[in-house]
Amino acid sequence: MLKTTVAGIELEHPIFNAAGPLDATLEELTVLGESHAAAITMKSCTLEAREGNPEPRYQDIPHGSLNSMGLPNLGYKKYIAFAPLLKKYNKPIIASVSGLSLEDNLTIIQALNDAPVDLIEFNLSCPNVIGKPQMGYDPEQTDDVLGKIMHITKKPLGVKLPPYFDFVHFEQIAAILNRNNVRFVTCINAIGNALVIDPEKEQVIIRPKNGFGGLGGAYVKPTALANVRKFSELLNPTIDIVGVGGISSGTDVFEFILAGATAVQIGTTFMKEKHGCFERIEREFNELMAKKGYETIEDVKGNLKTL
C-alpha cells in the first residue's frame, strides 16, 4: 500500500469516497467502513434533516452522471452520533458540512469540535440547493465565512470547491484560502447546471430545476485535473489537495497525483460499481506505480511536465 496524508491525517492509500453517494445512513457508512476505502466520508450535513429534491434526481449517463440531490441527509446530530460507531474500522472519519446559512455552519462546526471525527470538509460548492447560490463563486462571502469558521474550528478543516475556469478566479480564491490557513482543498464538486436530454422521450432526465443538475464522471475529469493543477501552483505548500472528478481507474489516480493531489475521492464510479471500486482502483494504481518504478506518493506528486 502507498500511504499518504491529508492535513496530517495518515491514509493507508490515497483512495476514498466523495461526500454524497451511499454515505447517508449508518448502514451505508458501516459498509464503507468494511470496504477498501481509505477513509469514511460522511454525507454532507445540514442543521436539520432534509429530504432533498424530488425524484428522479440522479441518473447515470454514458460517461458519467447527472444529479440534483438537494442535500438529503439526516441532520448533523445523527452524523455526530454515528462517528464513534465507525471508529472500530480504524480509518479516518471525515465530516462534510453544508449548512444553509453562516449561523448553521458555525453551530455544526462548533459541535464537531467535540466529535470523534478526524477531518472536516466544508462544502462551498453544492450546486443543487434550489434558491441557494454556490458560495465558492462569491469571493467576498467565502472570505468572510471562512474567517469566522477557521476562528472556531479545532479540527483540521478543508473546503470542497466548485470548478473554476478563469485564472483570475483561481488567483482570487487561492489568496483567500491561503489567508485563512485552510488545511486542505477538495476539487472539484460537480459542474453545476448541466442539461441532459432523452431524445426518444423528448424530455429532460431528472425532475428538479426542470432538468438542470450537477455533471459528474468522465465528462468533468479534464476540468478537475486543471483545478487540481492550478491550485497546486497557487496554494501554500502546507495545504493538501484532494482530487475528485471522473476517476475510474488507477491511471486516473496517477494523473491527479501528478497534477498535485495527495489523495482522491470517488463519486460517480462508486455509485455505478459500488464498494468494489476502491480495491480495483487501488490495485491498478499500485501496479502502475510499480511499473514506473515509483515507491511513494511524494515521488510523483506535482511533478507534471510541460512542453
Domain positions in the chain: 4-52+71-192+217-299
125 is catalytic: yes
Pairing of β 263-266 and β 157-161: unpaired
Q: Per mean pLDDT, which range of 132-136, 196-200, 230-234 is the poorest?
A: 132-136
Q: Quote the CA–CA distance of 286 and 236 in Å, as a whole number.
A: 28
Percent helix, strand and coil across the chain, each rounded to 5?
Answer: 40, 20, 40
Q: What is the pLDDT of residue 130?
A: 74
What's the burial of 61, exposed, middle or buried (CB within 10 Å: 0-12/13-18/19+)? middle
Q: Quote the CA–CA distance of 7 and 155 in Å, as a whole number.
A: 10
Q: What is the pLDDT of residue 127?
A: 67
Residues 6+ apart with CB under 8 A from 170: 164, 227, 230, 231, 234
- Phi first, then psi, for residue 10 (nearest 5°) are -80, 140
Q: Quote the CA–CA distance of 28 and 86 in Å, as a whole number.
A: 11
33 closest CA partner among 95, 84, 90: 90
**Is 269 in a helix, a strand, or coil?**
helix
Average pLDDT over residues 86-94: 98
277 is catalytic: no
CATH fold for the domain made of 4-52+71-192+217-299: TIM Barrel (3.20.20)
- Identify the DSSP state of 196: -
Model confidence pLDDT, tens digit, residues 105-149: 999 999 999 999 999 999 998 766 777 778 999 999 999 999 999
Average pLDDT over residues 281-286: 98
Average pLDDT over residues 258-279: 98
39 closest CA partner among 117, 125, 122, 156: 117
Provide the grid cell at 187: 476539487
| pTM greater than 0.95 (yes/no) | yes
191 closest CA partner among 173, 168, 218, 171: 218
pLDDT of 12 higher than 90: yes
Catalytic residue among 65, 68, 125, 248: 125
- Phi first, then psi, for residue 305 (nearest 5°) are -90, 150
Helices (H), the chain: 26-34, 76-86, 102-112, 139-152, 167-179, 221-234, 250-259, 268-273, 276-292
Model confidence pLDDT, tens digit, residues 169-195: 999 999 999 999 999 999 999 999 999
Catalytic residue among 44, 65, 126, 232: 126
Cis check: omega of the bond before 173, within 30 degrees of 0: no
